[in-house]
Structure 1
Amino acid sequence: MSDIAKFLGNEANALLSHVCKGLPKEGFHLPGPDFIDRVVALSDRKPSVLRNLQALYNHGRLAGSGYLSLLPVDQGVEHSAGASFAPNPQFFDPENIVKLAIEGGCNGVASTLGVLGIVSRRYAHKIPFILKLNHNELLTYPNKYDQTLFASVEQAFDMGACAVGATVFFGSEASRRQIEEVSEAFRHAHKLGMATILWAYTRNTAFKTADADYHVSADLTGQANHLAVTIEADIVKQKMAENNGGFNAIKFGKTSPKVYSELTSDHPIDLVRYQVANCYMGRVGMINSGGESGKDDLHQAVRTAVINKRAGGMGLISGRKAFQKPFAEGVTLLNAIQDVYLSKDVTIA
């Protein structure tokens, strides 16, 4: 606990002692070793989906805790391989991506058809694979907020993946088509026994104003989460909320004053608690993304993990902060994240 508090610095007391009052923890279905039996087994998911989800929860340093630490490396498509891997060229080789996930004690590795397919016979039985089905790519000019299917559900099944992942850019012009494509892909994945993870991101130039970037507002990302669980995502990946009031700022859509006056506050844990509430009060686990790599990555990663866990989230999915560093430093960062979820002193707020 002392190490975690040290990482948090001046925020330690505010983050570690906060109690959520607008949405108390007692109303939530919280992560735990029995989460599959207690929550997911009540759903329409097939036994083979439950088995694959349990395999994901039972792998790595967090095995048996009910929490997830995932390594996602699909940035080479959307951000270009150069932008992603030039900082650490060993990761141009897909095998090193999987090795980092294994050495870092992750529950699973999420990546592209090419990355996982090129090493699947060596590693698919050693760490759970999550095949990311769709991507945005930045060679199309001018850029547009869209996602294209790069892989099929059958290819994920054939390589031994335990789950498929996909992105929907909620709020973008192409979002309706993306919802249809991903909904059908998730239905097919469930039929074949694989779990589903949705990158539920908001994308619209109107969501960013002169005052704030509401792509990370609790109310807009919360609604994206609610749409994600509507198409039966088993796990939702979401950017951590940093502000609130997106609906009011863009003057579009519908909300309630109670969202801002009673259910949330300006405290970061309260903002993320609202994101979790939109995942059927925790019946579907929400993992937060680790964000871009920078100069203060270890502190930021631990801070994000503490907020996610105390809000009732299910874990962290951190890529660039880990793989854009020397291998050993990446392992250290992933382990620091996991230590938050293993700590009995970091409790639900």
Structure 2
Amino acid sequence: MIDIETLLGEEMESLLGYRCQGIDKSALHLPGPDFLDTVVTQTDRKPRVLRSLQTLFNHGRLAGTGYLSILPVDQGVEHSGGASFAPNPLYFDPENIVRLAIEGGCNAVASTLGVLGAVSRKYAHRIPFLVKLNHNELLTYPNRYEQTLFGSVDQAFDMGAVAVGATVYYGSEDSRREIQEITEVFQHAHELGMATVLWAYLRNSAFKHEGTDYHTAADLTGQANHLAATIEADIVKQKQALTNGGYRAIGFGKTDPRVYEQLTSDHPIDLVRYQVANCYMGRVGLINSGGPSGKDDLHQAVRTAVINKRAGGMGVISGRKAFQKPMKEGIELLNAIQDVYLSEKVTVA
């Protein structure tokens, strides 16, 4: 187990000792070994969906905890294969992506139809597959920012996947089409018994205002989470909130002063707690993305996990921080994230 306190450094007391004031943890439906039995069984999900979710929750080092550690490697489409894999060419080969997820103790591996399809007969029974069905690709010139389906639910089902994932760019000009399209995709996935994961991302140049990027504002990302839960995503992937006040700064939409004065604060755990609240108070699990690779990845990964867990989230889905390193270091980073969720010292705030 890693030394979480040492890794957090000067933020240790602030992050591990904080108690949320706005939305109390007693109001949340928290992850745990009985989450499916006490929360998901109340929904309209078919028994086969419950079985798929149980498969996700019962794999890897976090098996039986109700928390998730997922390796996502779909960046080759949007960010380009060169930009994604040049730091570690090993991962041009799909087999090494799956190996990293298995040896890293992950609950699942999330990737493209092509990546997972290339090795499905060897690995689909060894680790849960989460097939990411749509992507934004930037080879089209000039760039367009919209999600396009690269595969179908039936193809994911046939390769043995237990879940499908998709992105909606909320706030973009293309968002209404994407919402309708992915609503139908998720409905079909549930009919076949697969779980659904939504990358509920914001995308609009107007969300950058006077030097502040509100794509990670708690109020705007919270609303994206609420929309994701509305189309029956079983799990929502969201960037961890770094700021707040997006509605006020940009001057659009509807909000309430109590969002900023009573329900949240400037503390990072409060900001993510608001993201969880918009996932139907935790009835839909929130997993935060790990972000890009940098110079301080281990510290940042552990910090992200601590904030997510203490806010009431369900886990972390971290890719570039792991696969843009030698495999041994990638495994150690994934294990460090998992150690946060295994630690009894890190409690819900």
TM-score by length of 2: 0.99
How much has 1:143 moved relative to structure 2? 1.4
Gaps of 5+ in 2: none
CA contact (8 A) 2:240 2:288 kept: yes
How much has 1:2 moved relative to structure 2? 7.6
Question: Which residue does the alignment assign to 1:36?
Answer: 36
Question: Which residue does the alignment assign to 1:123?
Answer: 123
Structure 2 counterparts to residues 219-230 of structure 1, below 5 A: 219-230=219-230
Question: Which residue does the alignment assign to 2:163?
Answer: 163
Could you tell me how far apart the structure 2 residues matched to 1:33 and 1:163 are?
Answer: 20
Could you tell me how far apart the structure 1 residues matched to 2:252 and 2:218 are?
Answer: 15
Question: Which residue does the alignment assign to 1:186?
Answer: 186
How much has 1:142 moved relative to structure 2? 1.7
What one-letter code is carried by the residue in structure 2 that aligns with 1:268?
P
Could you tell me how far apart the structure 1 residues matched to 2:227 and 2:142 are?
Answer: 28
What one-letter code is carried by the residue in structure 2 that aligns with 1:154?
D
How much has 1:116 moved relative to structure 2? 0.2
CA contact (8 A) 2:2 2:339 kept: no
User: 1:69-106, CA deviations, whole angstroms, 9 ceiling, x for partnerless residues?
Assistant: 00000000010000000000000000000000000000
Could you tell me how far apart the structure 2 residues matched to 1:213 and 1:261 are?
Answer: 21
Gaps of 5+ in 1: none
Q: 2:209 aligns to what SS in structure 1?
A: coil
User: 1:166-217, CA deviations, whole angstroms, 9 ceiling, x for partnerless residues?
Assistant: 0000000000000001000000000000000000000000000123100000
Question: Which residue does the alignment assign to 1:214?
Answer: 214
- CA distance 1:2–1:156, shift in 2 (3 Å): closer
Q: 1:79 aligns to what SS in structure 2?
A: helix
Structure 2 counterparts to residues 69-88 of structure 1, below 5 A: 69-88=69-88
1:336 equivalenced with 2:312 (yes/no)? no
Q: 1:130 aligns to what SS in structure 2?
A: strand
Question: Which residue does the alignment assign to 2:319?
Answer: 319
Question: Which residue does the alignment assign to 1:110?
Answer: 110
Q: 2:286 aligns to what SS in structure 1?
A: strand
What one-letter code is carried by the residue in structure 1 that aligns with 2:254?
K
Structure 2 counterparts to residues 149-298 of structure 1, below 5 A: 149-298=149-298
Q: RMSD of the alignment, in Å?
A: 0.7
Could you tell me how far apart the structure 1 residues matched to 2:143 and 2:305 are?
Answer: 32
Question: Which residue does the alignment assign to 1:48?
Answer: 48
Percent pairwise identity: 76
Could you tell me how far apart the structure 1 residues matched to 2:256 and 2:144 are?
Answer: 31
What one-letter code is carried by the residue in structure 1 that aligns with 2:81?
A
Could you tell me how far apart the structure 2 residues matched to 1:33 and 1:53 are?
Answer: 12
Q: 2:63 aligns to what SS in structure 1?
A: coil
Question: Which residue does the alignment assign to 1:93?
Answer: 93
User: 1:50-76, CA deviations, whole angstroms, 9 ceiling, x for partnerless residues?
Assistant: 000000000000000000000000000
User: 1:299-343, CA deviations, whole angstroms, 9 ceiling, x for partnerless residues?
Assistant: 000000000000000000000000000000000000000000000
CA contact (8 A) 2:2 2:336 kept: no
Could you tell me how far apart the structure 2 residues matched to 1:156 and 1:188 are?
Answer: 11
256-265 or 206-215, larger mean C-alpha shift: 206-215
Question: Which residue does the alignment assign to 2:347?
Answer: 347
User: 1:113-155, CA deviations, whole angstroms, 9 ceiling, x for partnerless residues?
Assistant: 0000000000000000000000000011121220000000000
Q: Structure 1 residue runs of 4+, over 3 Å off? A: none
CA contact (8 A) 2:218 2:274 kept: yes
User: 1:220-264, CA deviations, whole angstroms, 9 ceiling, x for partnerless residues?
Assistant: 000000000000000000000000000001100000000000000
CA contact (8 A) 2:32 2:67 kept: yes
Could you tell me how far apart the structure 1 residues matched to 2:71 and 2:64 are?
Answer: 18
Q: 2:22 aligns to what SS in structure 1?
A: coil
Give the total of aligned pairs. Answer: 349
1:302 equivalenced with 2:302 (yes/no)? yes
What one-letter code is carried by the residue in structure 2 that aligns with 1:150?
F
What one-letter code is carried by the residue in structure 2 that aligns with 1:177?
R
What one-letter code is carried by the residue in structure 2 that aligns with 1:79?
H
CA contact (8 A) 2:170 2:201 kept: yes
CA contact (8 A) 2:61 2:105 kept: yes
Q: 1:338 aligns to what SS in structure 2?
A: helix
Could you tell me how far apart the structure 1 residues matched to 2:271 and 2:144 are?
Answer: 29
Question: Which residue does the alignment assign to 1:138?
Answer: 138
TM-score by length of 1: 0.99
1:64 equivalenced with 2:64 (yes/no)? yes
